Structure 1
């Protein structure tokens, strides 16, 4: 009798622990079966292999809107949820990728580079093709000019949002809710203006996971391409963390200290930064503080902290107009 009670208690504990570790994953594609651009391309063969892995291992590919609604409502995020996004709107998606998505019945969120589609640049989908693709997935926004937004002046940035959203609405008949940061680059200036223009969900390119407490204005996505270790990407767990310092790239363009507060009960973690490798760091009441003897001075810096097998990641980009 006592043994049975113990087994039931242990099982309940494990199930509860599993739910606490539940994390969804948002993956991002660019080009499909287009070997001219290997760094952003996935072949039809590898795409089918990834889709078969999802199907054969119990993963559920859900619309981005379903994940967003769960986050808004504070619901538990199932560990087997996968969201698939496609950036830019390359013609190779329409010709090579879309038929495979339709074959598997997998939804997607396509983020449109508006200028390229509106002006019918040769390598991109037209808005007619985008509207056809919308029968099978959701359509979001990827800026008007696909510029490095962090370095734009306030007026130039505003112009890009105004033009892009106006032309998107003209062709699609509605304003976009989702926005994928071009090049995955952003700061508070970009976030604030995105919200000002009615964009509700902002997608980054930080390789991590999504869990209860994820910021809808900074949802992490992991790029998928030929050679990506899908199992490793799916093994990443979401670390709820507050990046206290710096929030953005410092105005003096020098990163000399990083402070990250987590809710984890751990005495150490592993911190990495572009050009500085990975180091074991101490945590005090869940907080990490790292000071650099030589400040980081790079255009783009990717930093991450891993604690208890969970990861938080952030990209900081210099604002060339900063004083």
Structure 2
């Protein structure tokens, strides 16, 4: 089976600037559960968003091609739909629509919640998984804050989920989604040995130079799902970079961290970039400096518990490019 577990994820060694139109991934959770506005989308708005994608002549990306063609630049941008948590509202409300349109997607499942009140059952997950355009992803067992766990407890959580997927699907998915988009280098290293691709919750567009275990997604909900913003998002293009430091996105005693981004020497207009960050729990323009093709962000103050974010955009001769970074912040 194509989506059987990979014991060793393939390293991404492209690292050259490419005319890659990219894959823009959208993240959804609940549907028509209006009392949860931070994770909910109204179904009528969701349908309008899908219509916008069609109107703009963007195709929906089939996740199987991540494995087959990740290192190949895309001539035309495509849109990847992902849904986290396997809430019952997805099955009842969104699934019939996606099925009728045959829109490809990944459904990320936390195994502990399956069958509980408000969540899908294994029978429903298996029904969806049988469709050739529907793919299942691993979202851990507990859906806990993985960075808060001792290493052995984190490993136990993931191994438990793998065992349950093998029991109910006959395989462990090659796709993983970090709960809350949080991970440390230790977590990422373990995930990379058990999954081919892993998605966070930092914004951006996937291109051939992105780390396959730190893939970006734009979260869509009632607060950030209005149609004008949606049109802007789906038109974004990749903002590529050669490397990003620090590799570990978990902040402990290094708050604020030193963030540097190395761009490719032949990238145009790169010094026109603008970044905004939310250190001190207040969004403001970041203080950036350039040393040739290396950009350094000098944060104003410490990031507050529990997450810190940086978003950078570039108007590249009328093409808007974007990437984001999310840090997880230790409480101590």
Runs in 1 of length 4+ with deviation above 4 angstroms?
Answer: none
RMSD: 2.0
Is 1:24 matched up with 2:44?
A: no
After the TM superposition, which residues 130-149 of structure 1 pair with which residues of structure 2 at under 5 Å, given as runs? Answer: 130-136=125-131, 137-149=134-146
Q: Give distance in 2, aligned partners of 1:111 and 1:153.
A: 23
The question of whether the paired residues in 2 share the 8 Å contact of 1:255 and 1:297 is answered with no
Is 1:235 matched up with 2:232?
A: no
Q: Give the TM-score of the pair, scaled to structure 2.
A: 0.83
Q: 1:260: Cα distance to partner?
A: 1.4
What per-residue deviation string (whole Å, max 9, x for no partner) do you get for residues 88-117 of structure 1? Answer: 000011100100101211111111010011
User: Secondary structure of the equivalent of 2:250?
Assistant: coil
Q: 1:44: Cα distance to partner?
A: 1.8
The question of whether the paired residues in 1 share the 8 Å contact of 2:20 and 2:75 is answered with no
Q: 1:200 to 1:67 in 2, by over 3 A?
A: closer
After the TM superposition, which residues 1-323 of structure 1 pair with which residues of structure 2 at under 5 Å, given as runs? Answer: 20=19, 22-71=21-70, 74-117=71-114, 120-136=115-131, 137-196=134-193, 198-226=194-222, 227-228=225-226, 229-241=229-241, 242-245=243-246, 247-263=248-264, 264-265=267-268, 266-274=270-278, 275-279=282-286, 281-292=288-299, 294-307=301-314, 308=316, 309-319=320-330
Larger RCO (CA within 8 A; separation ≥ 6): 2
Q: Give the TM-score of the pair, scaled to structure 1.
A: 0.86
Aligned length: 298
Q: Give distance in 1, aligned partners of 2:86 and 2:299.
A: 41
The question of whether the paired residues in 2 share the 8 Å contact of 1:151 and 1:318 is answered with no
The question of whether the paired residues in 2 share the 8 Å contact of 1:144 and 1:163 is answered with yes
Q: Give distance in 1, aligned partners of 2:304 and 2:96.
A: 44
Q: 1:186: Cα distance to partner?
A: 1.2
Q: Give distance in 2, aligned partners of 1:123 and 1:173.
A: 25
Q: Give distance in 1, aligned partners of 2:93 and 2:254.
A: 42
Q: 1:169: Cα distance to partner?
A: 1.0
The question of whether the paired residues in 1 share the 8 Å contact of 2:52 and 2:231 is answered with no
The question of whether the paired residues in 1 share the 8 Å contact of 2:286 and 2:299 is answered with no
User: Secondary structure of the equivalent of 1:281?
Assistant: strand
Which structure shows the higher helix fraction?
1
Q: 1:256 to 1:26 in 2, by over 3 A?
A: closer
Q: Give distance in 2, aligned partners of 1:148 and 1:220.
A: 19
Comparing 229-238 and 106-115, the one that deviates more? 229-238
User: Secondary structure of the equivalent of 2:202?
Assistant: coil
